[in-house]
Amino acid sequence: MLSKDTKAEISTLLTRYSSKESVLIPALYLAQQENSSYLSHEDIGEVAEILGITKSKAFGVATYYTMFNTKPVGKYHLQVDTNIPATLMGAGEIMAHLEKRLDIKAGETTSDGMFTLSSVEDLGSCGTCPVIQVNDTYYENMTIERVDELLKSLKIGALPERKDESYFGSKCGILLKNRGKKNSTEIGTYKESGGYEALKKARTMKPEDILAIVKEALLRGRGGAGFPAGMKWSFLPKSDPRPVYLICNADEGEPGTFKDRQIMEYDPHLLMESIAIASYAIGCRTAFVYIRGEFKWISDILIKAVEEARQEGMLGDLDIIIHRGAGSYVCGEETALIESLEGKRGNPRKKPPFPANVGLYGCPTIVNNVETLSCLPYIIENGVEEFKKIGEAGNFGPKLFGVSGHVNRPGVYEYPIATLLPEILEAAGGISGNLKAVIVGGLSVPIMKADEISNLKMDYDGCLNAGTMLGSGGIMVMNDTVSIPKIALRTIKFYAHESCGQCTPCREGSTAIRILLEKIINGLGKSQDINAILNICKNVKGLTLCPTGDAFAMPIEAMITKFREEFEALVD
């Protein structure tokens, strides 16, 4: 039975959203929180009854998202990120040590019910790996010694305070200008450096004039696709009676990507001001920040920032709702995100219609990335010409690059877009060891060999011309100790796990490639298996509702093509 307090919280949530179904995921979180991180069938049914939806729908949603525990877990749920950046930094050793110390395997719970150990996908902590998430708390830069200290503390019932030990740097001083300042999350600190002045200026302008400025600035989307934000806004229907919604995509689930959390965690009012400017420009009264569910502490920071901005009159009649996802890579795709925000399983929609016409609740909707929106105050305050002084023709403005793997100072670095990759790597402390390969835009883009990067401009066109993509700007660096076939296997395991299963090429193709790569790495493969993988990749690309099919076909194809000798060495 849910408590009166939990029922009251759910009732309050119902007053915030236009649709009761949108309250389902937040309500399931509340139910799970009340029941020692366990979401029972009874709890799911009670939530469904309160919301007036079917139990089958609620159960379907609860079992789709990885953060809902429909089986009991221990008092402390230790979740170890084992994706590629974490693996490069020793997550395998951390997991093995935990299994030995706790005398259980991943997926099991200790006999006393104290600990559950899980291997999980990317936690958005690529620059501070290895990372262990204990319930809702991140413990980063973990070592064997730190693991032992953590376990010792947990065994006496003490959850240690989270430490912040991340690297960052900025050549532009725009998106990270407040990073490193004391009390950087507070509105007073933000205002001291000119915060909210751009919003005041924007409100003296006509919305159509702001749209024209953003289009002229050629602000390209920083979430991965690089589509011009102003052009996307211009697709909204004119003189439409339906409400317009703005959704800030803060899901950040692409392995290798950890840039957006730098803004949200350390300068949340930059995002609040940016959302307010965009909302004014497109005529939006209700905006959402869809943040990945694992970032619980960051969502709390954003909620506080919304309240501060509201109390100081910065938001006017704009309502900003912070909405946590619940663990699904596919929800980074805008239509899957909208489905999730509507309280559904995060399955991508068929397009057209596009969200600008039929989006959230069937209404015109704009979905923009955190970093994209965060460029707006600079553009409004300083003008198009100043913005275009940063970068090169067709690629303007600052860009956040998340550098992880085999560098000496993994972290997030703000540089002009079109900066040469070696300069960014130097900012990250240089290569640790002998460089072998780099993935420059998150896991979904083709890998680059060491001899391909010396003149690589980190912008959309430069990367495309070099046979890869800028993507999210998540740079994963690998030295010559790395086995590319093993990286390929870890890549496809991620995508096979994260496929929503809706499209046959993605669902079956990712599984088939995983099976073939496992055969090859275990010494059971043949040369024709390598060709079979390439053939699957060829027949997956362009044939799925969302980019997930391409997201695994392109990198796997590139890994085999560029490092085929490593794969051939493993087969008969």
Other Cβ atoms closer than 10 A to 171: 16
pLDDT tens for 533-560 read 999 999 999 999 999 999 999 999 999 9
pLDDT tens for 156-170 read 999 999 988 999 999
Q: Which residue has the tokens 């400017």?
A: 277
- What would the two tokens of residue 62 be? 């609860």
Phi/psi of residue 288, nearest 5 degrees: -125, 145
Binned at pLDDT 50, 70 and 90, residue 20 comes out as very high
- What would the two tokens of residue 234 be? 């211009």
pLDDT tens for 403-456 read 999 999 999 999 999 999 999 999 999 999 999 999 999 999 999 999 999 999
Binned at pLDDT 50, 70 and 90, residue 225 comes out as confident
Instruction: Report, as an integer, the average pLDDT of 515-523.
Output: 97
CA 187 to CA 191: how far, in whole Å?
A: 6
CA 169 to CA 259: how far, in whole Å?
A: 12
pLDDT, position 535? 97
- 118 forms beta bridges with 79
pLDDT tens for 233-262 read 999 999 999 999 999 999 999 999 999 999
CA 163 to CA 186: how far, in whole Å?
A: 19
Is pTM beyond 0.95 here?
Answer: yes
DSSP string, 200-265: HHHTTS-HHHHHHHHHHHT-B-TTTT--BHHHHHHTSPTT-SSPEEEEEEE---STT--SHHHHHH
- For residues 241 and 167, the answer to whether their CB atoms sit within 8 Å is no
Calculate the average pLDDT of the chain. Answer: 97
- What would the two tokens of residue 227 be? 């589509």
Binned at pLDDT 50, 70 and 90, residue 1 comes out as confident
CA 203 to CA 311: how far, in whole Å?
A: 18
CA distance to 152, 166, 271, 509, per residue, from 298 (Å): 26, 15, 12, 35
Q: Is 81 helix (H, G, I), strand (E, B) or coil?
A: strand
